[in-house]
Structure 1
Amino acid sequence: MASKTLQRLMEDVPRGQPLDPDMLRDIGVSPQQATYMVSSGWMVRLSKGAYLLTGDAPSRDGIIAFLSRRIPGLHVGGKTALDWQGVRHNLHFRERVVLWGTKPYEMPEWVESHLLYTYQTTRLFDDGLPDNEGLEPLPGGNPSVLVSVPERALLELASDIGKRGEKGQSLEEADNLMASLRNLRPKVLDRFLSHCDRVKVVKLVRDLGASSGHSWASDLQKHVDRLGPGKRWTSSRKGGPSLSLKP
C-alpha cells in the first residue's frame, strides 16, 4: 500500500469511530487495500463492512455515528437525550443509551460489547411531522450524533413508561425529572403534541405536566381531546406495571 494512503488514513480517520467501506473509499482506500491493511495489521475487521484502526477502541459516539450511516432516523432519544442535556434524576454506574430509529436493524455483536443500549422503532408522530424534526447534534459534540431536543425527548420518555424489560421507564422517575424541565418551549412542545397520535403518550405528558406546575403545562388537555375525549386509557401488560390514565 502506498505510504501516502496510509498516512491519509491515520490523519483523517476519526478516532473511536468504526469505518465502513464508503468512508474508506472517501479517504482513498479501496476494498482491496482495506483487505491488505487488515492482513498487515493496520486495521481490524469488526464485522462485515466495519473496520477499526488497530489499537483504537470504539467509543460511544463513534459507534452511534457509524450506525447512523446505516439506520434511517437514528438518534439518541428519551431519557438519554434529556440526561445529555442536563436533565437527570439518578446517576447510573453504566449508562444505557436509548436509541430510536425508523426501521428495524440487527446490531452487530461487537456493538453490544462496547455499548449498553436499547433500540426501538416506535412511531410517535403522524406523517405531517418530518422524521428529523427536533433532532440536533449537541453543541461541541459529534455532528453525526443526533439528539432529541427536550420537547421531543419528553414524548419519547412518556412512550417508554409502562414497557417491560430494559426499555421500561418508571413513572416515578419521569415525574422526578419534571423538576428540571421548567424551561421547555411551549410552541415547540405544542407542535410535537399536535402531531402525536399515541393516546398514552399525550395523556402521560399532560399528567406529568400537571404534576410539575410549570407554565408550559397549562393547556395540554386540548391535545388529549383531539385524540378522543372522555376515554380512559389503561394498560396491564404481564410483567409490566399497570397504567390507568384519566380521560
Structure 2
Amino acid sequence: MSTTNLQQNRDDWLTLVPHGQFVTRQWLLAQGVTLHAFDNAVKSAKLMPLTRGVYTRSDVPVAWQGVSASLNRVLDGPVYVGGLSALAQHGLAHYISFSTVIELYSPLPVPSWLGGLKIATSFNWHSTARIWDTSALLKSGSLKTISIHQGEWLLASPEQAFLEVLALVPSTISFEQADNIMQGLVNLSPRRLDSLLKACKHVQVKRLFFFFADRYQHAWRQKLHAEDYDLGAGKRSIVADGKLDTTYNITVPEIFHG
C-alpha cells in the first residue's frame, strides 16, 4: 500500500466531522476514534477548536445552520430552531430582523460550551420542558428537517413557533408584538394547531393563543374549539394591573380589553 493510501485510510474517520459542522472530543472518542488519531488531527490543523472540547474542520467556517445540525448529531435528543427565529425563517415576522441571535429549543439542558463557540452567531437556549410533551410534539410532524451538506437541522412550523413565542409574553415579548404576529398568521393549519395544542402543557400559552386568535378570526379559527383543550382552572395574572378577560380568565393590558 502506498504512503498516500495509508494516510487516506488513517484520516477516514474525519468524515465524522462534516464540513461546516462541529463535533465534541467526547463524541468522537465515543465513535471509536483513538485519542492518538484525534491528537494528531489537532496538531496537524485538520481539526481546529471552536471552544474547549469542540472541534471543526479547518477549511469551512461554521454558520448557525451548521451549529443546529451539529447539536442534533452530538446530543441525545432534538434541538431545533423555534420561536421568533422560526417565524423569521418562514417569512412571518418581517418586522423582526433575523439577527445574529438564533433561538434554539430542546428538552435537553444547554451544553456548557455553547456560549463559547467562536462564530459570528450567538444563541438563546430555551428548555421545552414547560411547553411541550416531547413525545406528542415529535408525533405531530411539526418539525421540518432541513438538509445541508452531510447533515440536517430542524425548524419549527409557524404554528409551533407562535405558541413558543407566547410562552415569552410578557417577559420578553410584548402583547403588542404577539398581536402583530397573530395578525399576519392567516394561513395556519388547523389540523397542526389541534395536534400542537394537545401536545402543549403550558396553560397560559393556550389561553393567550385563543385570546389573540379571537381578535382576528382567521378562517382556521373556526375549526378550533377552545373547550377541546385543557386550559386549566382559575385566573392567570399575566400582566400586573391588567384587566381580566373573562373568556379565558387572564389579565391583559387595558388597551386589549373589551
1:8 Cα shift?
Answer: 4.7
Report the TM-score, using the length of structure 2 for normalisation.
0.76
The CA distance in 2 between the partners of 1:23 and 1:159, in whole Å, is: 36
Judging changes above 3 Å, is the alpha-carbon distance between structure 1 residues 72 and 89 closer, same or farther for their aligned structure 2 residues? same
| 1:63 paired to 2:70 | no
1:242 Cα shift?
Answer: 6.6
The CA distance in 1 between the partners of 2:187 and 2:51, in whole Å, is: 43
Judging changes above 3 Å, is the alpha-carbon distance between structure 1 residues 127 and 47 closer, same or farther for their aligned structure 2 residues? closer
| 1:149 paired to 2:153 | no
| 1:192 paired to 2:192 | no
Matches within 5 A, 1:9-158: 13-21=17-25, 22=27, 30-68=34-72, 69-70=74-75, 72-92=77-97, 94-108=99-113, 109-111=115-117, 113-122=119-128, 123-126=130-133, 129-131=136-138, 133=140, 134-138=142-146, 141=148, 144-158=152-166
The CA distance in 2 between the partners of 1:243 and 1:34, in whole Å, is: 61
Residue type at the aligned position of 2:176: E
1:36 Cα shift?
Answer: 0.8
How many aligned residue pairs are there? 236
| Worse-matched range after superposition: 34-43 or 140-149 | 140-149
Matches within 5 A, 1:206-225: 206-218=210-222, 219-223=224-228
What do the CA deviations read for 1:115-152 (whole angstroms, capped 9, x no partner)?
Answer: 222111132234772546421213x5575211111222
Alpha-carbon RMSD: 3.2
Q: Decide whether the 8 Å contact of 2:107 with 2:134 is kept in 1.
A: no
Q: How many percent identity over aligned positions? A: 24
Report the TM-score, using the length of structure 1 for normalisation.
0.79
Q: Decide whether the 8 Å contact of 2:79 with 2:106 is kept in 1.
A: yes
Judging changes above 3 Å, is the alpha-carbon distance between structure 1 residues 162 and 132 closer, same or farther for their aligned structure 2 residues? farther
Which protein is bigger by CA-based radius of gyration? Answer: 2
**Deviation above 6 Å: which 4+ runs of structure 1?**
9-12
The CA distance in 1 between the partners of 2:10 and 2:19, in whole Å, is: 15
Choose between structure 1 and 2: higher strand proportion: 2
1:5 Cα shift?
Answer: 4.0
Q: Which residue of structure 2 lines up, in the alignment, with residue 233 of structure 1?
A: 236
